[in-house]
Amino acid sequence: LKLGGYGLIRISPVLNPHPQNLMFPILILALWGILMTSSICLRQTDLKALIAYSSVSHMGLVTAAIIVQTPWGLTGAMTLMIAHGLTSSALFALANTNYERTHTRTLLLVRGLQLAFPLMSTWWLLINLTNMAMPPTINLLGELFIISALFNWSTPTIIITGIGTLITATYSLYMFLMTQRGSISTQFRLLPPTHTREHLNLILHLLPLGLLIMKPALISGLFT
């Protein structure tokens, strides 16, 4: 997804200026895709499918920002691609740690893991907050750039992006509560402990997300 977004950024100057009748339908489809894929996340029972659809939802924002062809839009697109690349990878790593111990990806069967893995539950909380673009992560900067660029292009887009952001927060909390809270199943009473390499892996995902906000020009100064 991120390589595809980068390809759009590289090829879009060749097609610039876009014909209005070509740009508008694609932009509408990208914005509509944000709502559709976010809504699909709310009804997922498979953990990895939920994370995958979350990535597609964020790429709808990126596609819309690239099509608008403004410096803010391109900067936001590049920033969000890097930020969500790290976030999505961390979520898949967390899902894999669950799967290695429970051998199932069904959300209804893996509840209450906070009782067994309290430190891993902390990682789940932090990465889900990052997925929601909570400050001070670089995800927030990328989304603000994109939403501002789309709002400047067309005021009504704030309605779609606002609803998409709200649904993103909803399914992120849904994912955390379904995997961590509640009573743990009796078949998962004896689970192997987590390993240092797994925690190190998650630290190496979260550190760039937290530190890049201190110097966002490293990834966002390409188009300004």
Quick check: is 224 in a domain? no
Alpha-carbon 36 to chain mean position:
15
pLDDT of residue 20: 57
Cα gap 146→163, rounded to integer Å: 14
Quick check: is 190 in a domain? yes
Percent of the chain's residues with pLDDT above 90:
43
Domain of residue 139 covers 1-218
pLDDT tops 60 at residue 81: yes
Helix 2-11 / helix 47-68 crossing angle, nearest 10 deg: 10
pLDDT of residue 16: 62
What average pLDDT does range 10-23 have in this prediction? 68
pLDDT tops 70 at residue 21: no
**Cβ-based neighbours of 213, under 8 Å, separated by 6 or more:** 135, 136, 137, 138, 140, 141
What average pLDDT does range 151-161 have in this prediction? 90
Does residue 120 or residue 221 have the better pLDDT?
Answer: 120
Cα gap 72→19, rounded to integer Å: 20
- Quote the number of domains for the chain: 1
Average pLDDT, the chain: 86
pLDDT of residue 222: 56
Report pLDDT digits (tens) over 92-103.
999 999 888 888
pLDDT tops 50 at residue 224: no
Quick check: is 13 in a domain? yes
Cα gap 121→98, rounded to integer Å: 11
pLDDT tops 80 at residue 186: no
Whole-model pTM over 0.85: yes
Quick check: is 223 in a domain? no
Query: What is the DSSP annotation of the chain?
Result: -HHHHHHHHHHGGGGPSPPHHHHHHHHHHHHHHHHHHHHHHTT--BHHHHHHHHHHHHHHHHHHHHHHT-HHHHHHHHHHHHHHHHHHHHHHHHHHHHHHHHS--BGGGSTTTTTT-HHHHHHHHHHHHHHTT-TTSHHHHHHHHHHHHHHHH-TTHHHHHHHHHHHHHHHHHHHHHHHHSSPPPGGGSS-PPP-HHHHHHHHHHHHHHHHGGGSTHHHHTT--
pLDDT of residue 190: 73
Does residue 30 or residue 115 have the better pLDDT?
Answer: 30
Quick check: is 9 in a domain? yes
Reported as a pLDDT band with limits 50, 70 and 90, residue 117 is confident
